[in-house]
């Protein structure tokens, strides 16, 4: 029989939708059996079968679902700290690009790095997220832009999930940028789609992503990638409407995408389309902050349409070198005017949905026992504090 454990002396922010904010249960208990939650409720109502099992008191602390970072580019070579300096010294994007910077520099560094180097560089970033109560991380490819390097990135992502107590969900992002001097359509046909086929054949792909923007690919080109994903039986998601409005959110909705990410330039009509498709809007305040953007996502339109909103770090070396999901929650509140409850739902229940995961993101019977235990009095403190990590412990699959 799997190990049984009774967690007591806690407040549970279950994040189960209902009439109570955060799905909060004061003076709660949680019954865990193996890797699953068997029961959660008031401590006085613990089922008889869990009265004589191992008991662990959590000292009155707050328990939430383990956090989920649903959008990262955590595997890459090199960094772009010098570009950060150059921008502050007055250099334009074009000047940085002419100096060999921008995504081209990350592509070059990633191509030059072997699998072990990419892995050793990525693990500290993963460990920092785990230390903040994260139990699931999405990892994208997209800095290879050739078959060999895209596969290498995806293999590293899979290895991270084997080497650390964290669930890794992979997204193939071969349609991330057009290599220098390359024709976009030829690249899609001769590099991106064959790389997707190869990665899928190797069991490396959980979803397919793309970057639909004037500096990347148009809607027709992304549609070809999504058509191939459909043939392979893979769900899709999309970097949409980040820098301009190109119709990419509507495209994502048309394909029933798991999520449309960034969405700063999305419209009320886009919000209604996402709601009808059941897609999640993933908000990425780190990129908004780093790029000093001024166009905020239409949060109120998403609320009114009933679009679930997730929050991610978008951890990447260029536009969002943000390695803290807790800080992303704070930024989502301060920059995008999310409520703290929306920010926590965005890194638990809605983040799980953005990855197509139905077995986590809430504390309720039948879901994975992925939990975060916090030294805070109220859930709002998780978004309120800046540069603070109040994690007491993390429980992953029933084990801490």
Is 239 flagged in the annotation as binding?
yes
Is 316 flagged in the annotation as binding?
yes
Angle at Cα 140 formed by Cα 136 and Cα 146, nearest 5°? 155
Half-sphere exposure of 28 (CA within 13 A, CB side): 20
Is 318 flagged in the annotation as binding?
yes
Is 76 flagged in the annotation as binding?
no
Is 270 flagged in the annotation as binding?
no
Is 314 flagged in the annotation as binding?
yes
Is 143 flagged in the annotation as binding?
yes
Is 176 flagged in the annotation as binding?
yes
Is 312 flagged in the annotation as binding?
no
Contact indicator for 374, 391 with CB cutoff of 8 Å: yes
Is 73 flagged in the annotation as binding?
yes
Contacts of residues 200-204 at CB distance under 8 Å and 24 or more positions apart, as own/partner, are: 200/172, 200/232, 200/234, 202/151, 202/154, 202/155, 204/151, 204/154, 204/155, 204/157, 204/158, 204/170, 204/172
The binding site for Fe(3+) comprises 71, 73, 239, 314
The binding site for Zn(2+) comprises 71, 73, 239, 314
The binding site for 4-imidazolone-5-propanoate comprises 80, 143, 176, 242, 319
The binding site comprises 71, 73, 80, 143, 176, 239, 242, 314, 316, 318-319
The binding site for N-formimidoyl-L-glutamate comprises 143, 316, 318
């Amino acid at each position: 029989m799997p190990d049984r454990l009774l967690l007591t002396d806690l407040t549970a922010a279950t994040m189960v939708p209902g009439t109570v904010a955060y799905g909060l249960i004061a003076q709660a208990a949680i019954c865990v059996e193996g890797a699953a939650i068997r029961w959660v409720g008031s401590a006085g109502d613990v089922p008889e079968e869990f009265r004589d099992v191992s008991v662990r008191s959590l000292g009155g602390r707050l328990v939430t679902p383990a956090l989920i970072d649903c959008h990262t580019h955590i595997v890459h070579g090199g960094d772009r700290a010098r570009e950060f300096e150059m921008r502050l010294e007055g250099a334009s994007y074009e000047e940085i690009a002419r100096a060999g910077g921008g995504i081209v520099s990350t592509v070059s560094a990633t191509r030059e790095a072997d699998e072990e180097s990419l892995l050793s560089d990525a693990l500290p970033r993963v460990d920092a997220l785990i230390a903040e109560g994260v139990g699931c991380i999405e990892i994208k490819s997209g800095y290879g832009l050739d078959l060999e390097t895209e596969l290498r990135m995806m293999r590293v992502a899979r290895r991270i999930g084997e080497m650390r107590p964290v669930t890794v969900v992979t997204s193939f992002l071969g349609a991330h940028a057009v290599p220098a001097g390359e024709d976009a359509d030829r690249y899609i046909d001769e590099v991106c789609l064959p790389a997707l086929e190869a990665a899928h054949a190797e069991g490396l792909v959980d979803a397919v992503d793309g970057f639909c923007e004037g500096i990347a690919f148009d809607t027709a080109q992304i549609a070809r990638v999504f058509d191939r994903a459909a043939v392979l039986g893979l769900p899709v998601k999309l970097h949409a409407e980040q820098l301009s409005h190109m119709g990419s959110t509507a495209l994502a909705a048309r394909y029933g995408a798991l999520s449309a990410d960034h969405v700063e330039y999305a419209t009320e009509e886009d919000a209604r389309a996402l709601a009808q498709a059941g897609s999640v809007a993933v908000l990425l305040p780190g990129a908004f902050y780093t790029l000093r953007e001024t166009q905020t996502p239409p949060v109120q339109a998403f609320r009114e349409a009933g679009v679930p909103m997730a929050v991610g770090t978008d951890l990447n070396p260029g536009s969002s070198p943000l390695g803290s999901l807790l800080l992303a929650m704070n930024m989502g509140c301060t920059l995008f005017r999310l409520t703290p409850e929306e920010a926590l739902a965005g890194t638990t229940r809605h983040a799980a949905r953005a990855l197509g995961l139905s077995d986590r993101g809430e504390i309720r019977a039948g879901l994975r026992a992925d939990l975060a235990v916090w030294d805070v009095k109220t859930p709002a403190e998780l978004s309120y504090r800046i540069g603070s990590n109040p994690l007491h412990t993390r429980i992953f699959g029933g084990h801490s």
